[in-house]
Amino acid sequence: MDQAQVFLAAGLICTIAFAGFVLLDSDSRTDGLPDWEVLDVCLADHSGSISHIHATLSVIINGNNILIPDDVGLTDEVCPDGMRGVHTHDDTGRLHIETPGAMDAPVGAFFVIWGEQFDDSNILNKVANDDNEVVMFVNGQQNFDYENYVMKDGDVIEIEYRARQ
């Protein structure tokens, strides 16, 4: 075997190994959703020892406040007899993060549960472009974690789609 064949064989072996790792990775989701543990939470009620914190979310599109609907994550198709790990009870934007123990709850998980899009370039089907941007503030400070920001008790989260500044 000459040197070129050795390199070719090594490349083929590495490619097969990588493909096997990706396909057999037990932590990968097959539904195309992010691998956030909180997305799998379904609680029957508020009883028992659960972690219960709150964050407040507001979404502003071109200067207009968007209503965060009530009952997002309550008795939906994923959790027909209970509540998801992140949900609302009213239309105030108050997010209830309730989990069977301490668990990260990224703000993006709420948008997945709501069935809406949110990341650094998209909010509620408004896409950032040369003229407009998506910005996020947490407790008054700009935050660049976007959908991956892990909410903490008392957070005030503001997501805005606006003209570039």
> Which residues on adjacent β-strands are paired with residue 127?
122
Tokens 């509540």 belong to residue: 83
* Residue 29: pLDDT over 60: no
Distance CA 62, CA 112 (A): 22
Strands 122-123 and 126-127: antiparallel
What angle (nearest 5°) sits at the alpha carbon of residue 57, between those of residues 107 and 41?
Answer: 40
- Which one, of 53, 149, 122, lies nearest residue 94 by Cα? 53
* 3-state class (DSSP) for residue 42: strand
The pLDDT of residue 21: 46
What pLDDT score was predicted for residue 31?
A: 61
Q: What is the mean pLDDT of residues 133-161?
A: 98
pLDDT tens by residue, 67-107: 999 999 998 999 999 999 999 999 999 999 999 988 999 99
- In our burial notation (b when 16+ CB lie closer than 10 A, e otherwise), range 19-30 reads eeeeeeeeeeee
Task: Tell me what pLDDT residue 164 has.
Answer: 95
* Rounded Cα–Cα distance for residues 98 and 61 (Å): 28
* Cβ atoms 149, 106 nearer than 8 A: yes
pTM of the model: 0.80
Which of these ranges, 24-28, 32-36, 49-53, 125-129, has the smallest mean pLDDT? Answer: 24-28
Radius of gyration for the chain, computed over Cα atoms and rounded to the nearest angstrom = 20
| DSSP character at residue 77 | S
- Gap between the Cα atoms of 64 and 161, Å rounded: 10
